[in-house]
């Protein structure tokens, strides 16, 4: 969201030069404005019984099964210029790679392997070199396709006012394998993240304030986390196979918002706790240099494309290291019936965590 001239309204605040819409939890029984808008769409469409779709609107992806028990995982995502990416600090190839990873992350959250992608492009009706830019974009798509072993199998092109990338990704889960959903979390479960949240937001701040070529080496990993995220496809499959894991979703809109969605889906609360000893020292140092609090990146920064999941006390985090895209997961909290929504534990107190993070539909439901 871009605001030009004048002061910010009271219900809008800025983090890392990105604007977020605050969503009033007192007025609406939904975890976010985006969730409310999706619920409205669901009520318009109604139910579609008797078809092969096991899961429709409402999770990271839709699930289609066939009579043999195999499942197709279908997800779609948009990347809009100056909303999701900027050519001022990213090449077209990097933009294409990152757009594909954002879809792969939804696939990973269901425990699926990617099978094929369809790409829709809106190309600006201005300037020259449009064909070369499209080629570079597809080189980025192809880089992700080769890394995770699936093809681009179709799509569409159109001219318009700005770059828009729409990707529909089809994944697959073989018969007998489990698909993880957002629903299934149980009271007493621990809440985990496949990587440290906030690295992408810290990288975005550096890219916007210092520029691509002026980022110190000690902070380069944050910029890389924003530009070249990793899709946890292998990790997602291992977690789906682990019966100690009960629910999972893609972490893309910020920990505070996505945890609120997970809590709402399961009718319970989540108490988060940020352990300062686990914070990368480079993030602490960057926080001091910029005057920004690292926990704002941690709780409210988005576009991490990690996996947010709930698991019982029997869960062994070492399982996540066995994949090619392996990681050391971070335990960030617990599921409980003692609170509603999302709260944060600091010392001996537990206080509600403000509803923040990137909410796509916030401006539509004010």
In a domain, 22, yes or no: no
Q: What is the CATH number of the domain that holds 283?
A: 3.90.650.10
pLDDT of residue 289: 95
Q: Are residues 202 and 168 in the same domain?
A: no
In a domain, 343, yes or no: yes
In a domain, 1, yes or no: no
pLDDT of residue 206: 97
Q: Are residues 203 and 275 in the same domain?
A: yes
Q: Are residues 250 and 351 in the same domain?
A: yes
In a domain, 4, yes or no: no
Q: Are residues 351 and 252 in the same domain?
A: yes
In a domain, 168, yes or no: yes
Q: Are residues 277 and 316 in the same domain?
A: yes
Q: Are residues 83 and 120 in the same domain?
A: yes
Q: Are residues 217 and 92 in the same domain?
A: no
Total of domains in the chain: 2
pLDDT of residue 44: 61
Last residue of a domain, one of 139, 173, 207: 173
pLDDT of residue 24: 54
pLDDT of residue 173: 92
pLDDT of residue 280: 93
pLDDT of residue 21: 43
Q: What is the 3-state secondary structure (H, E, C) of the chain?
A: CCCCCCCCCCCEEEECCEEEECCCCCCCCCCCHHHHHHHHHHHHHCCCCCCCEEECECECCEEEECCCCCEEEEEEEEEEECCCECCCCCCHHHHHHHHHHHHHHHHHHCCCEEEEEEEEEEEECCCCCHHHHHHHHHHHHHHHHHHHCCCEEEEEEEEECCCEEEEEEEEEECCCCCCCCCCCCCCCCEEEECCCCCHHHHHHHHHHHHCHHHCCHHHHHHHHHHHCCCCCHHHHHHHHHCCCEEEEEEECCCHHHHHHHHHHHHCCEEEECCCHHHCCHHHHHHHHHHCCCHHHHHHHCCCCCEEEEEECCCCCHHHHHHCCCCCCCEEEEEEECCCCEEEEEECCEEEECCCCCCCCCHHHHC
Residues 21 and 300 sit within 8 Å (Cβ to Cβ): no
Q: Are residues 169 and 250 in the same domain?
A: no
Q: Are residues 195 and 319 in the same domain?
A: yes
pLDDT of residue 54: 65
pLDDT of residue 153: 83
Mean pLDDT by 10 residues, the chain (366 residues): 31 37 58 68 57 61 73 92 94 96 96 91 79 89 92 85 94 92 96 96 96 96 97 97 98 93 95 89 96 93 96 97 95 94 91 76 57
Q: What is the CATH number of the domain that holds 92?
A: 3.30.1330.10
Q: Are residues 128 and 95 in the same domain?
A: yes
Q: Are residues 199 and 329 in the same domain?
A: yes
In a domain, 277, yes or no: yes
In a domain, 46, yes or no: no
Q: Read off the pLDDT of residues 230-240 as tens digits, 9 standing for 90 and up.
A: 999 999 999 99
Bin 254: left if φ > 0, else alpha if -120 < ψ < 50, else beta: left
Q: Read off the pLDDT of residues 39-61 as tens digits, 9 standing for 90 and up.
A: 765 666 556 544 655 666 666 56
In a domain, 347, yes or no: yes
Q: Are residues 238 and 336 in the same domain?
A: yes
- The domain of 215 spans 190-355
């Amino acid at each position: 969201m871009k605001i030009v001239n004048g002061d910010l309204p009271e219900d809008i605040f800025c983090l890392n030069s990105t604007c977020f819409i605050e969503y009033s939890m007192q007025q609406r029984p939904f975890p976010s404005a985006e969730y409310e808008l999706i619920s409205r769409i669901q009520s318009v469409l109604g139910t579609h019984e008797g078809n092969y779709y096991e899961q429709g609107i409402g999770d990271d992806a839709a699930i289609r099964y066939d009579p043999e028990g195999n499942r197709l995982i279908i997800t779609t995502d948009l990347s809009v210029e100056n909303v999701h990416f900027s050519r001022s600090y990213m090449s077209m190839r990097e933009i294409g790679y990152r757009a594909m990873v954002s879809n792969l992350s939804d696939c990973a959250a269901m425990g699926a392997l990617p099978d094929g992608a369809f790409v829709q492009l809106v190309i600006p009706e201005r300037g020259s070199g449009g064909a070369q830019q499209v080629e570079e974009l597809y080189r980025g798509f192809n880089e992700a396709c080769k890394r995770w072993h699936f093809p681009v199998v179709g799509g569409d092109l159109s001219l318009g006012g700005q770059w828009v990338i729409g990707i529909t990704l089809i994944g697959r889960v073989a018969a007998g394998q489990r698909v993880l959903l957002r629903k299934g979390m149980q009271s007493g479960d621990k809440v985990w993240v496949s990587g440290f949240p906030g690295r992408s937001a810290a990288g975005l701040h550096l890219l916007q304030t210092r520029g691509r070529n002026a980022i110190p080496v000690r902070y380069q990993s944050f910029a890389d986390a924003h530009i070249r995220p990793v899709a946890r496809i292998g990790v997602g499959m291992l977690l789906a196979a682990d019966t100690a894991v009960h629910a999972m979703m893609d972490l893309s809109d910020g920990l505070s918002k996505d945890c609120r969605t997970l809590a709402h889906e399961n009718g319970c609360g989540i108490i988060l706790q940020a352990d300062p000893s686990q914070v990368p020292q480079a993030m602490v140092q960057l926080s001091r240099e910029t005057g920004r609090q690292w926990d704002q990146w941690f709780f409210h920064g988005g576009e991490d494309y990690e996996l947010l999941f709930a698991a019982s006390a029997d869960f062994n985090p070492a399982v996540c290291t066995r994949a090619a895209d392996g990681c050391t997961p971070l335990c960030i909290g617990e599921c409980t019936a003692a609170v509603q929504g999302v709260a944060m534990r600091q010392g001996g107190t537990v206080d509600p965590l403000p509803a923040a993070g990137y909410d796509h539909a916030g401006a539509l439901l004010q």
